[in-house]
Structure formats: C-alpha cells, structure tokens
Amino acid sequence: MDSDFLDLVEEDPAKKKFTGIKFCPDCNNMLYPREDKEHQRLMYTCRNCDHSEQAESPCIYINKLMHEIDELTQIVADVVNDPTLPKTYDHVCPNCDLKEAVFFQAQSRRAEEEMKLYYVCTNRECNHRWTD
C-alpha cells in the first residue's frame, strides 16, 4: 500500500486539516473530486465552469469504524440462577436497593484493562448489572 496513504490514515484526526465541501471561487458551485490520469493526482473540478484545482490531500473520505461493545450488556440475566456463582449481601443494587447479588470476575477483552468484578441483582424484576 502507498506509504503516503498510510501516513494520512494513521495521522491524528485532531491534527488533520478538514477539507469538507469545496466551492468554485469563480461561480460558487460545488467542486467535485476527479482523477487527473495523465499526472496521477486528485483534482477538484467545477461542473459549471472550467475551474480546476489540485487537492491538498489524496484522500477524499475516511470511514473509521470504532467498534466497542458494552461488556455489561453481554451478561445474561440468567446467571442469577447459576448455583456455582457466589452471592454477596454487602453490595446494594443501585437500581432497586436489594442487598443480594451474584458476582463473578471476568477479564476485559482489551488487554490494557484490569480484571473486574461484575454484579447481577438477584431480584427477578430488576436483573440490574453493574461493576465496582
């Protein structure tokens, strides 16, 4: 892959200059990206007049996906029925104030985070999940 493109993608978005929509300085219509095949470069051209300008960056659009799953939503409420899980009477449910919850320890999928204790309220109408 082209190293210039990789530098552009890996660059900090806060430092990157936002291009946005470009407009023609002559007729104020929108400029559209077009490839100059002869010189192999990206140009912005007006469809109304003959204005054309070279793009500051070879990238038109970056779609950066940030996928993060809330770990608490992955806990099945039926864990309260598991007889092998320990129960605590020292942690009050923040949702219904019941003083009974099952708890277990699980390591996060992200290596940089520490292991956490997960609590699930034993009140069947509540089933609230939380961490300390």
Q: Is the pLDDT of residue 44 over 90?
A: yes
Q: Is the pLDDT of residue 18 over 80?
A: no
Cβ-based neighbour number of residue 103 at 10 Å: 18
Indicate the residue type of 76: V
- Domain of 23, CATH number, reads 2.20.25.10
In a domain? residue 9: no
Q: Is the pLDDT of residue 113 over 60?
A: yes
Q: Do 77 and 53 lie in a common domain?
A: no
Q: Do 100 and 126 lie in a common domain?
A: yes
Q: Do 56 and 78 lie in a common domain?
A: no
Does the annotation flag 59 for ligand binding?
Answer: no
- Calculate ∠ Cα 84-90-92, nearest 5°: 100
In a domain? residue 5: no
Buried b (16+ CB within 10 A) or exposed e, 57-80: eebeeeeeeeeeeebeeebeeebb
Mean pLDDT along residues 35-64: 87
Mean pLDDT along residues 37-57: 91
What gap in Å lies between CA 64 and CA 111, rounded to an integer? 22
Range of the domain at 38: 18-62
| Total domains present in the chain | 2
Q: Do 87 and 124 lie in a common domain?
A: yes
Mean pLDDT along residues 31-44: 91
- Dump pLDDT digits (tens) for 53-104: 998 887 777 777 665 556 666 677 778 888 889 999 999 999 999 999 999 8
Percent of the chain with pLDDT over 70: 71
